[in-house]
A and B are shown apart, each in its own frame.
Chain A
Amino acid sequence: MATRVFNLGFIPKVIVEVLPYLSVTFLIVLGTMVFASIVGFLVAKAKIKNGVTRHIANAYITVFRCIPSIVLLFLVYYGLPQLFQMLFHVDISFWNKAVFVILTFALLFGANMGEVMRAAYEAVDGGQTEAALTVGLTERQAFFRITFPQAFRYALPNLANIITGLMKEGALAYTIGLIDMMGKGKMIISLNYGAYTLETYLALFLIYWVLTKAVEISFGQMDKRLSRGGKTIAG
């Protein structure tokens, strides 16, 4: 590693080259959120009901809170094809890398989602459902029209955390060769024989920071807009 002058002008260049890959990062976040929500919904449902499923859900949460993202990513990416080969004699190693990434993070963040959903559901007073039933709504209508909108509001700040967390952890996807912003950054570095390593990383650092802020701010705005129903007389 030879010492050389730091080139500030290279940072904007990297940003311009990397930004088109924002869509990949975005799709990974979106895809993961969809599947994590499904996992989370099942976890929350299991935890709300009393029974064996509750213990399973708890075990799932405990285990997946303990595993580093990168370890699970490697386990899924390298291990799952091996497992499929072993059990079903099917080769899945050629599947799009995004599939493995989304699967990994859906499993990880599904545990968080489950906890967030459960907490939000329990934050809504049980009387709300009862009242909805007494005015003639069905249970499904009561859930979707009364409980869910209120629970969603409670969950909003935590959802913002999950999304920013996912974005940040998602940066690991390059380690299995996915070409998202990080992956592109790594390519730029090797194309320059490592000459602009620090500049490239700093450019990515900047992009991620702006993205996180953007998510936080937009969720804050949404929270404000939705808080009509929860305002005090003073508000």
Chain B
Amino acid sequence: MSLNTEFMKETFFLALDGVPVTLKITGVALFFSLIIGFLLALTRIYRVRIFSSVVAGYVSLIRGTPMVLQVLIVYSMVPSLLNSIVKSLGWQVNVFDINPVVYAYVVFTINTTALITEIFRSALLSVSKTQLEAALSVGLSPFWAYVRIIVPQAVEKALPNICTTTVNLLKGTSLAFMMSVADVTAIAKTQASFGYNYLEAYADIFAIYILLCGVVQILFHLLERRLTRHRRVAVA
């Protein structure tokens, strides 16, 4: 028995079909996480009553538990929960017809939001308070002080951690197969079990993830270069 290169090639291109799904889950989850995470970080920093401790608890729970459990819990809870809500409202929708990828969006958003909240919180805290005071002193309103002075600096500081989180999110989406979503992992896994060509199939996924992860890292690198232009200009 030797390596089945023909199968490997075939599976590689089949699994590539899963790339859009993987990227879609990553993209959607990241998009919502960044927005929600930022707002939640603000509630933490300004110690918004009750809300702040609820957020802290949520972050702690998500960060302290395996992602696979989060996936399994959402997948076993949300559909039936949704079903009972829909039924009680008397709607004529079959919840179980919903594309499972929606549940993937939900899980990975819930997970990544917690991580992003923490990242933004420490990034915002690391921007010196005098920056805000300086902005207010030149006549900016608190809103504009945030938009123009504080947030850009915080984002710059948060970027490396956001990159790591994005890579982890991308890797984490491989668990979507547990929700019967046909992502890269799911496709190759199915292929592998057909002919017992595990080695070839998983080597394929391996390669695809390295490619995707490489692209993500390059994108973040470019973004970082753009955002830190002011540093280099100062030196030049």
Contact = CB atoms under 8 A, between A and B. Distances in A.
A164 interface: yes
Contacts of A70: 68, 174-175, 185
Interface residues of B, number: 43
B69 A205 contact: yes
Contacts of A208: 64-66, 69
Interface stretch (A13-21, A42-50, A166-174, A220-228): A166-174
B64 A71 contact: no
Interface stretch (B70-78, B99-107, B145-153, B220-228): B70-78
Q: Interface size for chain A: under 10, 10 to 19, 20 to 34, or 35 or more residues? A: 35 or more
B199 A74 contact: no
A189 B167 CA distance: 32
A3 B84 contact: yes
B66 A1 contact: no
Contacts of B236: none
A75 B206 contact: yes
Interface of A: 1, 3, 63, 65-72, 74-75, 78-79, 82-83, 85-86, 164, 167-172, 182, 197-198, 201-202, 204-205, 208-209, 212-213
Interface of B: 1-3, 60-61, 63-70, 72-73, 76-77, 79-80, 83-84, 87, 96, 167, 171-172, 174-175, 185, 189, 192, 196, 198-199, 202-203, 205-206, 209-210, 212-214
17 contacts: A1-B79, A1-B83, A66-B213, A67-B209, A68-B172, A68-B174, A68-B175, A70-B174, A70-B175, A72-B206, A74-B192, A83-B199, A86-B2, A171-B66, A201-B69, A201-B76, A205-B61
